Amino acid sequence: MIDHVRPAQLSDWFAQALAEGQPLVLDVREPWELQTASVRTDGFELVAIPMGELPGRLTELDPSRPLACLCHHGARSLRVAAFLAQQGFGTLANITGGIDAWSREHDSSVPRY
């Protein structure tokens, strides 16, 4: 199952997921997007793997660890979360609205693009 979590609710999701391990945010945006806008880590680890590279880099992720996927608006990250679920990853969330919602709801210092 993939949880749908707004950026403003992410801390609550992390708190619930902590029972299964340290939370991880997987940013699946392209390198140019990361240079344009990035999130500050606060109580979670951030790993950036572009969506197109993920199949070849899957071994870099721990399937037992709670993982929330992030992209620009939430569509790519939802596809990645579905892919990870098919690969046996357990606790998954899609950060609905992506980094755009992150900027509007959680941290206005993150540039919108």
- CB burial of 77-113 (b: ≥16 within 10 Å; e: otherwise) equals bbbbbebbeeeebebbbbbbbbbbbbbeebeeebeee
Q: How far apart are CA 16 and CA 34, in angstroms?
A: 27
Please give the mean pLDDT across all residues of the chain: 94
What CATH architecture is 2-105?
A: 3-Layer(aba) Sandwich (3.40)
43-98 pLDDT per residue, tens: 789 999 999 999 999 999 999 999 999 999 999 999 999 999 999 999 999 999 99
Q: Which residues are catalytic, by number?
A: 71
pTM recorded for the entire structure: 0.94
pLDDT of residue 37: 95
